[in-house]
Structure 1
Amino acid sequence: MSTKSQQLIDLDLARGAHNYRPIEVVLQRAKGVHLWDVAGRRYVDMMSAYSTASLGHGHPQVLKALARQAKALDVTSRAFYNDQLPLWLDQLTRLAGMDKALPMNTGAEAVETALKLARKWGETVKGIPRDQVEVIGCEGNFHGRTLALVSLSTEAQYRENFGPFTPGFKIVPFGDEAALARAITPRTAAFIVEPIQGEAGIRLPPPGYLQRARALCRQHRVLFIVDEIQCGLSRTGRLFCFQHDDLAPDLLILGKALGGGVYPVSAVVGQAEVLGVLRPGDHGSTFGGNAIAAKVSMVALGLLSDPELIARVTRLGDWALAHLREGLQGSPLVRDIRGQGLMMGVEVVPDLGARCLVDALKERGVLTKETHDVVIRLAPPLVIRKKQLRRALDAVIEVVREAETRLA
C-alpha cells in the first residue's frame, strides 16, 4: 500500500465514525467498469456500489444531464412545482405499470415511506384499529438501518444497543409461505419482501414462493410490498425483479441505480388506493423530487429499460454462473454458487470466510466486498463486457483454489 493511501486511511479512521470496515484501497477516479486508486492502479468493479453504479461510472449521458440540469434549476424543495418531476413521475409509473410514485433520496427513506403508507392504509382503508397495525417482514431482510428498519431486522448487530424497538413488526422465515399464512391476522396491513435478499448473501426464494405469497396477501387484503432497491432496474435480467414471477405488487420500492450512479434518488411506486391516503403534510423530503434528481433519473431509467441491455444481462448472468460452477466444481471450500442475472454470490465455508478472498481479489485488480461473512458478492456494472467479466470471475476461481492449496 502506498504512503498516501495509508495516510488517507489513517485520517479516515481518526476523524470518522467506524461504522464501516472498507477494503483497504483508496479510490481516486472511475470510468465505466474500472476504478483507480491514488497510486494509479486500475481495478475491475465487481460491486457497483451495491448496485448503484449499474450503468458503470461516469456514464456520459447521465453526466451530461446532471451538468445541464444543475445549471438550469437545482433544488427548490417541494414548496413549488418544477418542470422535471412531473415528467419523471409519468415515466416511472408507466414503466412499473402503476398509478403513482413518491420520490425520496435514499433506499432507507423509501422503505420508511412505504411502511408509513402501509400503516395509514391499514387504518384508513382496511379499518384496522388505531395503533394496532402489523407489518410482516422476512428473516434475513435488509431494508436499511433507521430505527424502524432495524426493528424489522433479524441481524443481531443491527439491533444491539439500539432499543427500544418500533412495535408492530412480525418476522417469518424467507421462502416459507406456510409461516406467512400463520402470521397474518386481521391487523396485518402489509408484507414486505426482497425478491432476492442481497445483504443476506444473495439468497433466492424457492420457485413459486413470491407468487404464493402474493396470493396469500390478496386473499387476506394485505399489501404486497416488494423492495427492489438492490435487485431491481435490470440487475437480474428483467427491468423489475418481480417480473420473473409475473407479479403485480401493491408497492414497489426502488433506489440505488435509480440515480444513475451519480445522485441519490429513491421512490415508492404503487397503486392510487395506497399512495392516495397521503394528504399534504403527512410526509415529505426537502431534496426528494428535486429537478436534478428527476432529470438524472429519467436518463438512467431510459438507459436501464433498454431491451437490448436487459437481454444482455440475462445472457451474461447465465454464462457467468455456469463459468463459476465449472471452475469451482468439487471445491471443498465452496458451499454454493447462486444468483440471477448479474447479481451473484459465491458462498464459502465459515472456517475460511470471504474477507480473505476479497482481499486477495484486490491484489489481482478485482474489487468487491464480502456479505454475511461467508459470501463473495459479484454484481458488476450491467455494461461490463464478457472479457472483463471473465477476467474477474477467473480471479475468483484462482483465489479459491489457492486457498485450498494453502489450507491443505
Structure 2
Amino acid sequence: MTTNSELQTRRLAATPRGVGVMCGFYAQRAENATLWDIEGREYIDFAAGIAVLNTGHRHPRLVAAIQEQLGRFTHTAYQIVPYESVVTLAERLNALVPISGPVKTAFFTTGAEALENAVKIARAHTGRAGVIAFGGGFHGRTLMALAMTGKVAPYKTGFGPFPADVFHVPFPSALQGVSADDSLAAIEKLFKTDIDPKRVAAIVIEPVQGEGGFNVAPTALLQGLRRICDAHGIVLIADEVQTGFARTGRLFSMQHHGVEPDLITMAKSLAGGMPLSAVAGRAAVMDAPAPGGLGGTYAGNPLAVASAHAVLDVIADEKLCERAAALGERLVGRLLKIKESNPALAEVRAQGSMVAVELRDAATGAPDAEAVARVQAKALAQGLVLLSCGMYGNVIRFLYPLTIPDAQFEHALAIVEEAFSA
C-alpha cells in the first residue's frame, strides 16, 4: 500500500513548490462531509474544497446527473455545437440571481475566468478601462484577477507587472477601525487623486471577503457603491464565487442587502465539485461584447452543467439556505462561548454558514497566525480539517458541507472547542 509519506516525497519531486498544499495526507475517497486518506484515516471536512462542496462530497443526485450525461456525450465545445442543458441552466440562473429586468448568463470554467470576463464585459459596455477593488479581496490567480486581488503574499509575489488602471480601497473592518463611510470616502478620494470616474468601468466587491478573512460587507457600503455606480455609469460587480449557492443562508449574499449588482460572478459550489463558473447580469451589459468575444474551450462543460442542475435541485429540495442559517447559528453560538474564556478570539464573523474567527495576541492585540496554526494542528490530530485565511493568516474559516449530518456537526464542534483550549 502506498503511504502518505511516500506520496509526499513523490509530490515534492514531481510538482513545483508554487502549488502550496496544506495537508500531508492524500485523499482516497469521500462521502458527504467525510474524507478518508490512503491509509484509512477518517477526517471531517470543514474545508469542502474551499467552499466548493456546499452539497457535500458525491451527493447521490449529482453523481446520478453526471453519470446520465456521461452516457450521452462529454464534450462538443458549446461554441461549436451547443446543447440544451446550457440554455436551461442559464434560464434558471437568470431567474434566481438578484437582478431585476432581463438577465443573461455566460458560462466559463473557473472563478478567475468569471472575474476576467466580468471585467471584459464591463469594459465593452462602458468603453472604459479602470477597475476599483478592495484591500483583502481575492479574485483569482490569473493576471487581471491578481491585479484586483488585494493581498500581495503569496499571490502576487514575483508575478508583476499587472494590468494598469486597477485601484484598491480599504474594506470595512471594525477591528481595523475602517467604517463603510471610510471606504466610500476612499473611493471619492480616488476620483480626486488617481482616476476620473468617467474612466472607471467597474467596481468589484466580494459581499463577504473570502481569503480576506470573512469580513462581511455592511449594507451601507453596498448601498453607497450602488449610488456611486449609478451616478457615474460604472458597472457594479458582485464576486459571489465563494459566497454563492446557499453558503450565507441565501442563494446569493447580495440578497441579504437588497442591493442589485449589474453583474454577478459564480463558481465553486455552482456545480458541486465539477469545474464550472458563470457571469450573470443585466442583458444590456452582458450583450456588450461582440460574438466570439466571450467563451472558452471547456466553458459550459456538459458534465459540469448536468451537475449544476442537480445542485440547484438539491439546494431547493433540501432547503439548504435554511440549513446554512441554522448551522451557522449553532457554530457562532459555540464560538462566542469559547470567546468568553479565551481572550485571543478577537472577533467572530458570520453570515449564515460563512463563519470565521480572528485570533490576536491577548496582550498586544497583534494578529496571531501562530495561534491559528496551533488550533489547526490540534483539530487535525482529532480528525477535523480547518482552513486559515485573512491578510495576516490569523483567521480560521469554517466551510463545512451544508449537508453534514447533525451528529457529525456536533462532534466537529466539540473538536473545535477542544482545539481552542489551552
TM-score range, shorter chain: over 0.9
Give 1:109's aligned residue: 113
Which 10-residue stretch deviates more, 185-194 or 382-391? 382-391
Give the conservation status (yes or no) of the 8 Å contact 1:233–1:240: yes
For structure 1, list consecutive stretches of 5 or more residues without a partner in the other structure. Answer: 403-408
Looking at structure 2, the residues matched to 239 and 281 of structure 1 have their Cα atoms a distance apart, in angstroms, of: 30
* Counterpart residue number, 2:187: 180
Write out per-residue CA displacement over residues 246-298 of structure 1, whole angstroms, 9 at most, x where no aligned residue. Answer: 1211000000001122x101000001111111222212201111322222111
TM-score (norm 2): 0.89
- The 8 Å contact of residues 94 and 105 in structure 2, kept in 1 or not, is answered as yes
Deviation of 1:356 (Å): 2.3
Per-residue deviation, residues 154-213 of structure 1 (Å, max 9, x unmatched): 322222221121112111111312212333411111100000001011111234221222
1:159 has 2:156 as partner: yes
CA positional deviation for 1:369:
1.9
Letter in 2 for 1:211: Q
Q: Is the 8 A contact 2:126 2:233 kept in 1?
A: no
Alignment partner of 1:238 is 2:250: yes
Query: Is contact 2:184-2:221 (8 Å) kept?
Result: yes
Amino acid at match of 2:114: A
Match of 2:319 in 1: 308
Q: Bigger shift: 195-204 or 155-164?
A: 155-164
Q: Deviations over 1:32-65 (max 9, x none)?
A: 1111111211111111111101100000000001
The letter of the residue matching 1:251 is L
The equivalent of 1:81 in structure 2 is 82
Structure 2 residue 366 is the aligned partner of structure 1 residue 367: no
1:307 Cα deviation from its structure 2 partner: 7.4
Q: Using the TM superposition, give the Cα deviation of residue 370 of structure 1 relative to its aligned residue in structure 2, in angstroms.
A: 1.5
Report the equivalent of 2:176: none
Task: Please tell me whether the aligned partners of residues 44 and 384 of structure 2 are also in contact (alpha carbons under 8 angstroms).
Answer: yes
Whether the 8 Å contact between 1:251 and 1:269 is mirrored in structure 2 is yes
Distance 2:13 2:374 in 1: 24
Structure 2 unaligned segments of length 5 or more: list them: 173-182, 192-196, 361-366
Match of 2:157, as an amino acid? E
C-alpha separation in 1, matches of 2:389 and 2:94: 32
Q: Secondary structure at the match of 1:354?
A: helix
Give 1:393 shift. 2.0
Task: Check if 1:354 corresponds to 2:372.
Answer: yes
Query: Could you tell me the percent identity over the aligned residues?
Result: 33
String of CA shifts for 1:326-363, please: whole Å, max 9, x gaps: 12313132211111111111211234331222121111
Residues 3-402 of structure 1 mapped to structure 2, 5 A cutoff: 4-18=3-17, 19-77=19-77, 78-96=79-97, 98=99, 99-123=103-127, 128=128, 133-157=129-153, 158-175=155-172, 176-184=183-191, 185-261=197-273, 263-306=274-317, 308-349=319-360, 350-351=367-368, 352-372=370-390, 373-402=393-422
Equivalent residue pairs, number: 392
1:405 corresponds in structure 2 to none
SS at match of 2:421: helix
Deviations 1:125-150 (A, max 9, x none): xxx4xxxx211101111000111122
CA change 1:311–1:214 in 2 (3 A) is same
Q: Secondary structure at the match of 2:324?
A: helix
